[in-house]
Amino acid sequence: MRERPDPAALLDWYDRHARQMPWRVGPAARANGVRPDPYRVWMSEIMLQQTTVAAIKSYFEAFTTRWPSVSDLAQAEDADVMAAWAGLGYYARARNLLKCARVVHHDHGGVFPGTYDGLIALPGIGPYTAAAIASIAFDLPETVLDGNVERVMARLYDDHTPLPAAKPVFMEYAAALTPQERPGCYAQAVMDLGATICTPRNPACDLCPWRKSCAAWEAGTAKDLPKKAPKKRKPTRFGIAYLARRVDGAWLLEQRPDSGLLGGMLGWPGSDWGDAPTEDPPIRAEWRTLPAEARHTFTHFHLRLTVKTALVPMDRAPARGFFIEADAFDPENLPTVMRKAHALTKS
DNA sequence: AAAACGTGGAT
DNA sequence: TATCCAAGTTT
């Protein structure tokens, strides 16, 4: 007979195997009443949305060093924050990060709300992140349901209902297991379990503290769960990017509109991205087409970008965009697709 | 409620 | 090379 999953067994496992992260307070220190800085927890959770721990590492370090508190961040320039986020993706997160910091600074005295309802009212904080901050930073018994927890629940209950339709049910499973004791450790424990043991492929069931409680283990179906709705295939779009360099070395860039793809980021002026882009140079010049195109894949389409370059005189005004002096230009401040286009000019 | 929204690493 | 995947939110 299968046993009910025991939160205490997972907590015991976590006490021995908790991963260390720069924003975490380990189980031992927590037992002594130490809690993590809500600002750092929040920052980590926003960065971790659909993003791996490895990918955010240097960004978390850079952000928290440069802006040690939420009030510091609230007073930052938009352009500095967007530039610092460049390369991490999902740029709405950066815009909302700044919005959220400013609301916390101006409306909450620089102190994060200590409730789920207070947190979810903030920009960029949805159901998962509100529960994560409430539990991890404030030790409230809120239930986190992220991709890890969904996978763990699908397997514990051998539930073959495809995601995302299964989400409400998985939430019920997860909520029923959330303990009143040590909810902050528990939230991190169940996500650590999903990240290190109950992994998407080749789960390490032998090492799992919940193996005896796992219906999928019993049924031998763990590796096939969770089921997911079939994905749509990505279409290919085409575009043109115009990389103009002034004779003094300055580059012609533009700030993209706040909404939509790469919103709020710097980028090369270009055509629309579609089936057959039309020429639309941002400045009069003799344009040369580079032999290779920049290829990049976004969430929902592939892009093949034709890169055109030109050298322009000092006194010529652009129709779109603005020149950035060579000294002030850093391709690291651009989103990845724009970095790729720039890199092609150097080979 | 389905679609938009990035990127890099693993397989 | 193609596909999947990673601590989701917004519209």
What average pLDDT does this structure show over A12-36?
Answer: 96
What's the CA A312/C1' B6 distance, rounded, in angstroms?
32
Q: Are residues A193 and A65 in the same domain?
A: yes
pLDDT (0 to 100) of residue A182: 97
How many of the other CB atoms lie within 10 Å of CB of A284? 13
CATH of the domain at A296: 3.90.79.10
Residue A140 lies in a domain: yes
Q: Do residues A112 and A133 both lie within one domain?
A: yes
Q: Is the pLDDT of residue A267 over 80?
A: yes
- A67 backbone dihedrals φ, ψ, rounded to 5°: -130, 85
Is the pLDDT score of A329 beyond 90?
Answer: yes
Residue of A45, A142, A150, A293 with catalytic role: A45
In a domain? residue A284: yes
Q: State which of A171, A200, A224 marks the end of a domain.
A: A224
Q: Is the domain of A254 the same as that of A292?
A: yes
* Residues A35, A61 share a domain: yes
What pLDDT was estimated at residue A115?
Answer: 98
Q: Do A216 and A338 belong together in one domain?
A: no
Q: Is residue A62 part of a domain?
A: yes
- Which residues of chain A between 219 and 248 are close to nucleic strand B, CB under 7 A? 232
Count the residues in chain A. Answer: 347
Which residues in 151-170 of chain A line strand B, with CB less than 7 A from it?
Answer: none
Residues A296 and A211 in one domain: no
Give the list of residues 6+ apart from residue A222 with CB closer than 8 angstroms, or none.
A155, A198, A203, A205, A214, A216
Q: Which helix (H) or strand (E) holds A146?
A: none
d(CA A247, C1' C9) / Å: 43
Domain boundary among A167, A189, A224: A224
Q: Are residues A76 and A202 in the same domain?
A: yes
User: Cα(A313)–Cα(A327) distance, rounded to whole angstroms?
Assistant: 18
- State whether A167 and A265 are in the same domain: no
> Which nucleotide across the nucleic acid strands is nearest to A55, CA versus C1'?
B8
Q: Specify if A254 maps to a domain.
A: yes
Q: Which of A170, A194, A224 is the last residue of a domain?
A: A224
pLDDT tens by residue, A33-54: 999 999 999 999 999 999 999 9
A177 touches strand B (CB under 7 A): no
Can you tell me the distance from the alpha carbon of A133 to that of A123, in angstroms, rounded to the nearest whole number? 14
pLDDT in tens, A47-84: 999 999 999 999 999 999 999 999 999 999 999 999 99
Which nucleotide lies nearest residue A144, CA to C1'? C7
Query: Where does the pLDDT of residue A347 fall: very low under 50, low under 70, confident under 90, or very high at 90 and above?
Result: confident
Predicted confidence band of residue A226 (pLDDT cuts 50, 70, 90): very high
A61 in catalytic set: no
Same domain for A240 and A218: no
Q: pLDDT-based confidence at A232, cuts 50/70/90?
A: confident
Nucleotides of C under 7 A from a protein CB: 3-10
Quickly state the pLDDT bin for A307 (edges 50, 70, 90): very high
pLDDT band for A346, please (50, 70, 90 cuts).
Answer: confident
pLDDT band at A150 (very low <50, low <70, confident <90, very high): very high
Say what the pLDDT of residue A3 is. Answer: 85
Asked if residue A63 belongs to a domain, the reply is yes
Query: Domain range holding A104?
Result: 7-224
As a whole number of angstroms, the distance between CA A146 and CA A127 comes to: 10
Cβ distance A50 to A92 under 8 Å?
Answer: no
Are residues A217 and A258 part of one domain?
no
Specify if A1 maps to a domain. Answer: no
| Number of domains making up chain A | 2
A132 touches strand C (CB under 7 A): yes
Residue A150 in contact with residue A170, Cβ under 8 Å?
Answer: yes
Within a domain: residue A38?
A: yes
pLDDT score recorded for residue A80: 98
- Alpha-carbon distance of A181 to A10, in angstroms, equals 12
Nucleotide nearest to A93 (CA to C1'): C9
The type of residue at A151 is R
Cα A326 off chain centre by: 30
Contact between A104 and A112 under an 8 Å Cβ cutoff? The reply is yes
Picking from A121, A166, A171, A163, the residue whose alpha carbon sits closest to that of residue A143 is A171
> Would you say residue A9 has pLDDT above 80?
yes
Checking if the pLDDT of A148 tops 90, the result is yes
Q: A125 falls in which pLDDT band (50, 70, 90)? A: very high
> Mean of the pLDDT values across residues A266-281?
95
Q: Is the CB of A336 under 7 A from strand B?
A: yes
Average pLDDT over residues A228-252: 95
Q: Are residues A240 and A218 in the same domain?
A: no
Could you tell me the sign of the dihedral formed by the alpha carbons of A62, A67, A69, A70, in that order? negative
Distance CA A245, CA A323 (A): 8
A256 found inside a domain: yes
Considering the domain architecture, whether residues A217 and A324 belong to the same structural domain is answered as: no
- The pLDDT of residue A117 is 98
Closest protein residue to B7 (Cα–C1'):
A89
Closest among A243, A246, A250 to A281, alpha carbons compared = A243
